[in-house]
Amino acid sequence: MNAYDEYMKEIVKPMRAELVSVGFKELTNAEMVSEHMTQATGTSLIMINSVCGCAAGLARPAVAQALTEVTNKPEHIVTVFAGQDQEATYQMRAFFEEVPPSSPSIAIVKDGKLAYFIPREQIEGFSMEHIKEHLVTVLNQVTAS
């Protein structure tokens, strides 16, 4: 591992921990992603994490808050880190190729099918409260059906 990779690994530790601390499981390689996506039943909330400011100030806090307010929590809460775990991110995006790559972003998958996707364009420029409410509404609809 070169100096840049080591530096970035240290920089993103708290960004990873922010999601792990609220129950997210990190999928750090393609095999972990494939295993989850082919075997998970029920609803999966998938956060494609990023080092950008809209991930730090908007997406991660909104997702964490939404999980405390949603009526029915998804059975699985997982994350991949764009730009850091490139194989895992690429593999995850392959499961919902119908949407353009976007990070940060939030996917809701139900029984192996993409049920909803919140791209960066619906995160950046919006308030954390708005993103949280959007996610709570969608999760309540998807997990209720």
Q: Which are the catalytic amino acids? A: 52, 54
3-state SS, residue 145: coil
User: Which residues pair with residue 81 across a beta bridge?
Assistant: 49
Cα distance between residue 39 and residue 32, in whole Å: 11
Q: Residue 140: is it exposed, middle or buried by C-beta count within 10 angstroms (0-12/13-18/19+)?
A: middle
| b (16+ CB within 10 A) / e for 91-116 | bbbebbeeeeebbbbbbbbbeeeebb
User: Which residue do the tokens 């996917």 mark?
Assistant: 107
